[in-house]
Amino acid sequence: MIDQSLFGKMPDGTTVKQFCLTNKHNVSVEILNLGGIIRRWLIPNDKHTHTDIVLGFDTVADYLSDDSYLGALVGRYANRINKGKFSLAGIDYQTDINQGGNCLHGGSQGFNSKVWQSTVLSSGDNPSIMLELISPDGDQGFPSSISVKVVYTLTEHNHLKIEYFATSQKSTIYNPTNHSYFNLSGHNSGSVKSHQVQILASHYTPTDSQAIPTGEIDEVDNTPFDFRSLTTISQSLISDHQQIEYGNGLDHNLCLDLFTPMSKTATYAGKALVKGSGVELKVYTTMPGIQVFTANHFSNKMGKEGACYQAHQGICFETQFYPDTPNQVHFPNVMLEAGTEFYSMTVYEVLFKKTDFKHS
Ligand code: FUC
């Protein structure tokens, strides 16, 4: 089932719509056509109500004034490009610089801040919406016009499937992700430090103090980035490893051991869970990397429904190409050739204890 409603208005009066996708297990995901933002993700809990497992805001203005990309689709280039500079086919490009002298998440007017064209694809058992956007040649300094499409489907198996499509006129780079901050105990329930996480990655990309990759691809052995077996987040956050100190927590790209670029099959990448709660989030993707970010800089951020978010109150699993790939030739290729169709898929599966949920 899909419920469509008015969420608010952009400063220029453009309508922001909200789509609520609900399946037969009483899971619902609310998505805005502004930035494709996942605003709420409700799962039934054992108190006969719902737990909202993602952080979010109440108004369009809150989303536009914040710089944390809560729940948003990120593009053209998720993560950082060193000084916003790169060259393609012998031509140098300078993108918009919007964080610490670097380009973060596609520049100051990234895809997260745009109102996308929206279409309901199915309102049945597997509700699905399609969002589309055309980014012109030179948008935020990136080459070529690019036509992008994202399809969100909530399946009857409690999977939220996110499919990314794109085509460009000339060769360019494209690296999309979704920037949801998860808190499996509820968005307003404090820190995620007690969450346990598994990520099937034997390597990660270390960064400098500005979160720009050094170019190395290091083994995770004996580092706070070894999540190959279930590990509590706090164990990693208390580490005195320089990489953790740089950003006050996890803000790193882990290199997935198995990945399937452009394929229609997403591979299991990892999971998060809260012990004893029965709530578990599994992540599957076709992408080669996953940026694990623990909301390190949050401080009294006023969120939806009166919540006040603090550092480490959410965890992001941003499936993507490695950061700064355009300047690191040995990282998996992020080029989108003219006329080639880009495809990637990430699936978030939520498991929870079955309850005799009653509508309130
Ligand atoms: C993540 C991080 C960044 C940043 C942003 C809001 O993707 O890599 O450091 O602060 O989100």
The per-residue DSSP string of 284-318 comes to EESSSEEEEE--TT--SEE-GGG-EE-TTS-BEEE
CA 147, CA 258: separation in Å to the nearest integer?
28
Peptide bond into 76 cis (omega under 30): yes
How many Cβ atoms are within 10 Å of 61's Cβ, its own excluded? 13
Which residue has the least CA distance to atom 4 on ligand 1? 68
pLDDT band for position 356 (50/70/90)?
low
How many Cβ atoms are within 10 Å of 351's Cβ, its own excluded? 14
The residues annotated as belonging to the active site are 179, 318
**Res. 359: pLDDT tops 70:** no
Torsion on CA atoms 251, 108, 17, 26, rounded to nearest 10: 0
Cα(153) to centroid(ligand 1), Å: 25
pLDDT in tens, 245-303: 999 999 999 999 998 888 899 999 999 999 999 999 999 999 999 999 999 999 999 99
> How buried is 285 (Cβ within 10 angstroms: 0-12 exposed, 13-18 middle, 19+ buried)?
buried
Show the tokens assigned to 243. Answer: 């990489």
pLDDT, residue 360, reads 44
pLDDT in tens, 213-260: 999 999 999 999 999 999 999 999 999 999 999 999 999 999 999 988
**Mutational pocket test of ligand 1: of 69, 204, 299, the residue with most ligand atoms within 8 Å of the beta carbon:** 69
Cα(354) to centroid(ligand 1), Å: 34
CA 212, CA 209: separation in Å to the nearest integer?
7
Q: Is the CB of 298 under 6 A from ligand 1?
A: no
Which residue has the least CA distance to atom 8 on ligand 1? 251
Q: Is the CB of 293 under 6 A from ligand 1?
A: yes
**Res. 358: pLDDT tops 60:** no
